[in-house]
């Protein structure tokens, strides 16, 4: 139940944000497709440089950013709830 409550709190916060904020993407489809094109071309030079390791590192970095900035966002919301204002 303790873990359930914690998950429910997070779900409430994320759910409220997902409900109120607009579902608008700022990235044109061409940008996203260009990323796919770039990655597929980078993979070709794997015979010279270990691009598989490079991709793993990029994924590691992205996953870190997701966790880090999500945590900062939650902490800032928690601070606001305490009355300390929004500090990001």
Q: Is 87 in the site for other proteins (CB under 8 A)?
A: no
Q: For residue 57, which of 44, 37, 42 has the smallest C-alpha distance?
A: 42
Spatial contact of 86 and 79, defined as CB atoms under 8 Å apart: yes
Q: Which of residues 12-71 bind other proteins (CB under 8 A)?
A: 12, 14-18, 21-27, 32, 35-36, 38-40, 42-55, 57-62, 64-66, 68-69
- Helices first, then strands: H and E counts in the chain: 3, 0
Q: Does 88 bind other proteins (CB under 8 A)?
A: no
Tokens of 83: 């009355």
Q: Which residues in this chain contact other proteins in the complex, by CB under 8 A?
A: 1-5, 7-12, 14-18, 21-27, 32, 35-36, 38-40, 42-55, 57-62, 64-66, 68-69, 80-81, 83, 85-86
């Amino acid at each position: 139940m303790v873990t359930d409550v914690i998950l429910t709190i997070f779900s409430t916060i994320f759910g409220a944000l997902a409900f109120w904020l607009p579902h608008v993407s700022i990235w044109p489809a061409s940008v996203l497709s260009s990323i796919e094109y770039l990655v597929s071309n980078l993979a070709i030079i794997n015979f010279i440089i270990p691009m598989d390791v490079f991709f793993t590192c990029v994924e590691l970095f992205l996953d870190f950013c997701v966790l880090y900035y999500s945590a900062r966002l939650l902490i800032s919301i928690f601070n606001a709830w305490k009355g300390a204002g929004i500090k990001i």
